[in-house]
């Protein structure tokens, strides 16, 4: 399968398909005219006497150095090699491919001045599975993601490293094995390829796509937890949420109410329940998860715009070639910080529900630590402790990155976004959150089953059945780490939300 990228209007759904399914991508052929036109204007500027940044000058603090036409190719090649300064583990292959597709989208707008040949090589690398090895550390998110994108571009010129058919090899060897030929970079082409926010944006988008699944799982498992502790559905009444007016809150409450409709457990304590109100982690789930959903949607809109944006410098416009600052990734950094807040809070309130269910003084007659033989067995005691550790870790990771600027490049680049590691940390936060929600799912299923012969609703029974297909009910103590990993995988795979027929979209 190959997806067609429409510069300026490619959707998040298309990008998620590319990221999750590993499909190839090509530019809409209609983009070629604008690409060719801007490349010709750059070619002409490179031959002229007027200095134009990055075309016939040096870079950054060296922009005042004039470069003659005979040295244009050397200038661009040196730019790529000198900027291959990334360190750390390689970026995941699917996110690297997404980054390449985002670069295609940006170049396809026809304002970067590259030849169509550059776009064609990126397309061919995606089609043939040539994936550059891109270290994840080294970008401060202004002048774009220079180091990561340089490692991507190095493969295009036959340098660097790439993975092909699961084997890591020199970039030139990977191109040759795939039947592809390295390009010789022309005027501005190296700069156009490494000057941009595509690394940060790809990492943030990958996190957004996974965060949507975390949100969906949190709605299902919170409904299960509510039934497990025999909580009230009155706080889900639509009148409450409509009076406040936040769309996310309204939608989460409505979906939780639908999921719990028909629960015999719920009906069993409508009358005679001496409790007046449930703790906030039960009662305020719509307010917290709904606010997180609204933040995710705002971040998603920002990232969709950025995915379709032209973020290199200078830019070719109708009346000239203009130097600006679209490479500054502040919008991506803000979006990443928003996502971090949402992920942290989804996990914080979920962890409190886990704590509630294992505490016999608060769980409304559930057995201590959800084990049928407490004392001899510890049940989910330490699983809850693990969720507390991961919750705390995510709180620390949620500290904003966008506020941590530092000057670089001899103070020429004196304010930066830190979008790159702001976006990268989100993968770790999603992984932590999937475990927290997975443990909540295990505890909630155990709690609901302890209410037998009363049953929960059909949608929630389906979610429990999905869990029990892979994780048996806890009787005698056993090592829980494998169970927790399975439950986290069910969260990451969207399996619980699908089983429950969840209608809520991120």
DSSP collapsed to 3 states, 97-158: HHHHHHHHHHHCCCCCCCCHHHHHHHHHHHHHCCEECCEEECCCCCCCCHHHHHHHHHHHCC
Place of tokens 């089609």: 127
Residue 300, C-beta contacts closer than 8 angstroms, at least 6 positions apart: 12, 208, 506
Beta bridge partners of 164: 167
Tell me how many helices (H) and strands (E) the chain has: 20, 9
**Do you find a cis peptide bond into 198, omega within 30 degrees of 0?**
no
Residue 51, C-beta contacts closer than 8 angstroms, at least 6 positions apart: 57, 66
**Distance of alpha carbon 66 from alpha carbon 246, whole angstroms:** 56
DSSP collapsed to 3 states, 438-472: HHHHHHHHHHHHCCCCCCCCHHHHHHHHHHHCCCC
Token digits of residue 412: 């020429």
Token digits of residue 258: 């639908």
CB 200, CB 333: distance < 8 Å:
yes
Is 53 assigned a catalytic role?
yes
CB 347, CB 432: distance < 8 Å:
yes
Beta bridge partners of 320: 317
Among the listed residues 53, 59, 209, 334, the single catalytic one is: 53
CB 249, CB 241: distance < 8 Å:
yes
**Distance of alpha carbon 134 from alpha carbon 178, whole angstroms:** 19
> What are the catalytic residues?
53
């Amino acid at each position: 399968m190959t997806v067609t990228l429409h510069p300026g209007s490619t959707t998040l759904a298309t990008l998620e398909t590319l990221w999750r399914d590993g499909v190839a991508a090509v530019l809409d052929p209609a983009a070629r005219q604008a690409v060719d036109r801007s490349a010709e204007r750059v070619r002409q500027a490179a031959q002229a006497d007027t200095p134009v940044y990055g075309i016939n000058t040096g870079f950054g603090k060296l922009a005042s150095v004039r470069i003659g036409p005979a040295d244009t190719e050397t200038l661009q090649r040196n730019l790529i090699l000198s900027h291959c300064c990334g360190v750390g583990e390689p970026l995941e292959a699917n996110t690297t491919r997404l980054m390449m597709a985002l670069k295609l989208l940006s170049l396809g707008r026809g304002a970067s001045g590259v030849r169509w040949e550059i776009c064609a090589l990126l397309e061919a690398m995606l089609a043939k599975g040539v994936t550059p090895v891109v270290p994840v550390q080294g970008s401060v998110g202004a002048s774009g993601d220079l180091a990561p994108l340089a490692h991507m571009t190095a493969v295009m010129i036959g340098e660097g490293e790439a993975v092909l058919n699961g084997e890591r090899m020199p970039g030139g060897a990977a191109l040759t094995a795939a039947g592809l030929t390295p390009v010789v970079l022309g005027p501005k082409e190296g700069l156009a390829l490494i000057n941009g926010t595509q690394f940060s944006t790809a990492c943030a988008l990958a996190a957004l796509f996974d965060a949507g699944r975390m949100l969906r799982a949190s709605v299902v498992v919170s409904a299960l937890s509510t039934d497990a502790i025999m909580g009230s559905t009155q706080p889900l009444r639509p009148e409450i949420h409509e009076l406040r007016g936040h769309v996310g809150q309204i939608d989460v409450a409505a979906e939780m109410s639908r999921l719990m409709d028909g629960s015999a457990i719920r009906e069993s304590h409508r009358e005679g329940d001496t409790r007046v109100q449930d703790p906030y982690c039960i009662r305020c789930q719509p307010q917290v998860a709904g606010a997180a959903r609204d933040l995710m949607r705002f971040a998603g809109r920002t990232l969709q715009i950025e995915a379709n944006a032209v973020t290199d410098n200078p830019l070719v416009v109708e009346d000239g070639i203009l130097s600006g600052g679209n490479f500054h990734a502040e919008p991506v950094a803000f979006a990443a910080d928003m996502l971090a807040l949402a992920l942290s809070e989804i996990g914080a309130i979920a962890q409190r529900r886990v704590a509630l269910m294992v505490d016999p003084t608060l769980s409304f007659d559930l057995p201590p630590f959800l084990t049928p033989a407490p004392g001899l067995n510890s049940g989910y005691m330490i699983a809850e402790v693990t969720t507390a550790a991961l919750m705390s870790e995510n709180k620390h990771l949620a500290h904003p990155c966008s506020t941590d600027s530092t000057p670089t490049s001899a103070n020429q680049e004196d304010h930066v976004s830190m979008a790159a590691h702001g976006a990268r940390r989100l993968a770790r936060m999603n992984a932590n959150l999937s475990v927290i929600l997975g443990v909540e799912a295990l505890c909630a299923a155990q709690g609901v089953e302890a209410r037998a012969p009363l049953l929960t609703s059909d949608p929630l029974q389906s979610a429990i059945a999905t869990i029990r297909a892979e994780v048996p009910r806890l009787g005698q103590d056993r090592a829980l780490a494998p169970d927790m990993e399975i439950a986290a995988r069910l969260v990451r795979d969207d399996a619980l939300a699908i089983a429950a027929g969840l209608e809520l979209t991120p």
